[in-house]
Structure 1
Amino acid sequence: MKMEKMAALLLAALMVLSLAACGAKDDSKADNGGETATTEEAAATYKSLMDRENEILSENTDLWEKVFLAADKGMAMIEDGKNYGDFLLDTIESAKDQFSDEEYALLKASAQEISEIENKLTELEKLHPEILNEETDGNGDVQKFPSFEGKDLDGNEVKSDELFSANAVTVVNFWFTTCSPCVGELSDLDALNQELAKKDGALIGVNTFTLDGDEAAISEAKDVLAKKGAAYQNVYFDSDGEAGKFTANIFAYPTTYVIDRNGNIVGEPIVGAITEQKQTETLQKLIDQALAADMG
């Protein structure tokens, strides 16, 4: 996949990481956290930051491709208190032997800039949460979750349009079998699914090892789910479809999306286990937002 497209997909898949830009370097209101900025000014600064981070990820595409390919999905977990820039810095450090000294220095400087941008975005989000009320694809349009036709782990056919339209809210959790934080939250996800069922909602899992119907991976996933007492539906689809390509560009696990009845992504994805307080609060806020919109 061309890195230009990869960068764009990263914006969609990792918006919770607040993909950013330093176009507001001259904006004193952004530098002090936006305390005196109006909502319109904050939104403009936020977009400028996002544009800058996209620009960074679109530069030196061959080098960034190496970084993303080097991301070990077994450890690509963004810990509480860290942001996407920190994740990139850790990944670059783990793969430093693949780069010359000059390349390594360039990538580290870029990732550090992204980290600083992320901190600015986080501050803006705290001061002006209204700027995140509706996630878009960058063109002013609500971002749709990629459609798919697949099966659950028991072989039953699943179509995304039917799945989402049947629920007031659907929580989609991406995980894989050897990801410790992913497996560690399965019981909590099952409890969440039971709570959602009372509100006309549901939770589904997507184990990335099971894409394309890998029988061995499906068997292992079912075994892990059973041991954790997780009975909610898990689905898979073709890796070369739109949903498969979307999944391939998730570089931090677990990652969880909230989808409304129309198949729209609500807000930002939650990166990290929902057992962490910050992730739990964010997820609940997005669920409530989707439910309120469905009732309205």
Structure 2
Amino acid sequence: MNAKKLVTLLLVAVLALSLAACGTENNDKMGDMGGNGSAMTGEPKNAEEALAMHKELMAQEKALLSEKTELWEKVFMAADKGMTMQEDGKNYGNFLLKTIEDAKEEFSDEEYAWLKETATEISNIENKLTALEEKYPEIMQKSMDGDMSMPSDQNGAGKMADQGSMQKFPAFEGKDLDGNTVKSDELFSGNAVTVVNFWFTTCNPCVGELAELDALNKELAEKGGALIGVNTFTLDGDKAAIADAKDVLAKKGATYQNIYFGSGGDAGKFVENVFAYPTTYVVDRNGNIVGDPIVGAVTGKTQAEALQAQIDKALAADMG
């Protein structure tokens, strides 16, 4: 199963789908979660039914991870950084189960039992999703295209997406992972276009696109632009997180600049509105966000096309 792993935003303890941030209205009709949902029983008769089942299962995953978010935050804080490089296709529920088991002592008996039961349900859902994708490979892209959006009812995220190019990227003064000072006004004004990619170290789809992002950075450099990464684990200069991020980037051969800034500033608050990972923004020379945020790995066709269109728009405006 490729690039549909669930991820978490530790800064605000909000969990979402990495490639399908389904709206909350889907959760209202799920009924009983776990293995009792209708999508967990029966077989689809055709691709249309398979697509509907796929969407329902993904919504169930999100609903499960949207419960007890503070508890899930503890799970992801304890995540084994050594599992970051796991291959796409690994059952995400199994990843959660291992993480929970390894951090068992951090939870009460009641918390541990709930987490283990819920992670098992997620594992079962993942198995069903994999089976659907293997039988109906065309549904993955359709499911992604139809459901990918920013939640419109949480902390103004919908407003952020709607404002599009009218919104300024918040000013910041931070550092790159080597300790060099980075100021937003100098960064953006120095590039015809800047692509800003938000990711974190244990997000498998995020890690999976690092090599492609590095190639894109080289292409942008020829046009006077650049790509930068913001690993949300590294905010406030967390030394351990910086070391982990540098290790992952090196393993993927990604040499483009990654930066961090304080979580309490405007840019840090901006990150709180990123509810799915990876998420990518295009920023023009004046610091304006071009278009809507691109949710999901840019290795996907929909995301790649949207990103290129926004880059072309920023470059055209810069030349004009």
Could you state the TM-score of these two structures normalised by the residue count of structure 1? 0.61
Distance 1:201 1:244 in 2: 24
Distance 2:20 2:106 in 1: 26
Aligned length in residues: 268
CA contact (8 A) 2:170 2:270 kept: no
CA contact (8 A) 1:148 1:160 kept: no
Distance 2:248 2:67 in 1: 40
Secondary structure of 1:206's counterpart equals strand
1:204 shift after superposition: 0.8
The amino acid of 2:183's aligned partner reads: E
Distance 2:234 2:228 in 1: 14
CA distance change for structure 1 residues 86 and 221 in 2, over 3 Å: closer, same or farther?
A: closer
Q: Does residue 16 in structure 1 map to residue 19 in structure 2? A: yes
Distance 2:124 2:105 in 1: 25
Could you state the TM-score of these two structures normalised by the residue count of structure 2? 0.57
Distance 2:224 2:291 in 1: 15
2:3 is matched with which residue?
A: none
2:286 is matched with which residue?
A: none
The amino acid of 1:32's aligned partner reads: E
RMSD, matched Cα: 5.4
Q: Does residue 158 in structure 1 map to residue 179 in structure 2? A: no
Distance 1:147 1:89 in 2: 38
CA contact (8 A) 1:173 1:203 kept: no
Secondary structure of 2:15's counterpart equals helix
CA contact (8 A) 1:149 1:159 kept: yes
1:26 is matched with which residue?
A: 38
1:155 shift after superposition: 2.1
Secondary structure of 1:109's counterpart equals helix
Equivalent positions of 1:133-282 (< 5 A) are 133=145, 135-139=148-152, 141=158, 144=161, 147-150=169-172, 151-153=174-176, 154-158=180-184, 162=188, 166-167=192-193, 170=195, 172=197, 174=199, 189-198=213-222, 202-207=226-231, 211-212=235-236, 232-241=256-265, 243-244=267-268, 256-260=278-282, 262=290, 264-269=292-297, 281-282=299-300
Distance 1:228 1:51 in 2: 31
1:53 is matched with which residue?
A: 61
1:266 shift after superposition: 1.6
CA distance change for structure 1 residues 93 and 237 in 2, over 3 Å: closer, same or farther?
A: same
Distance 1:220 1:45 in 2: 34
Distance 2:121 2:246 in 1: 41
Query: Any stretches of 5+ residues in structure 2 without a counterpart?
Result: 1-8, 32-36, 283-288, 314-320
1:275 is matched with which residue?
A: none
Equivalent positions of 1:10-159 (< 5 A) are 10-11=15-16, 14-16=17-19, 23=30, 25-27=37-39, 31-32=42-43, 35-37=46-48, 42=51, 46=55, 48-60=56-68, 63-73=71-81, 75-99=83-107, 103-121=111-129, 123=132, 126-127=138-139, 129-133=141-145, 135-139=148-152, 141=158, 144=161, 147-150=169-172, 151-153=174-176, 154-158=180-184
CA contact (8 A) 1:213 1:237 kept: yes
1:64-87: per-residue Cα shift (whole Å, max 9, x none)? 343233224454555321243233
Q: Percent identity?
A: 44
The amino acid of 1:136's aligned partner reads: S
CA distance change for structure 1 residues 44 and 106 in 2, over 3 Å: closer, same or farther?
A: same
CA distance change for structure 1 residues 294 and 16 in 2, over 3 Å: closer, same or farther?
A: same
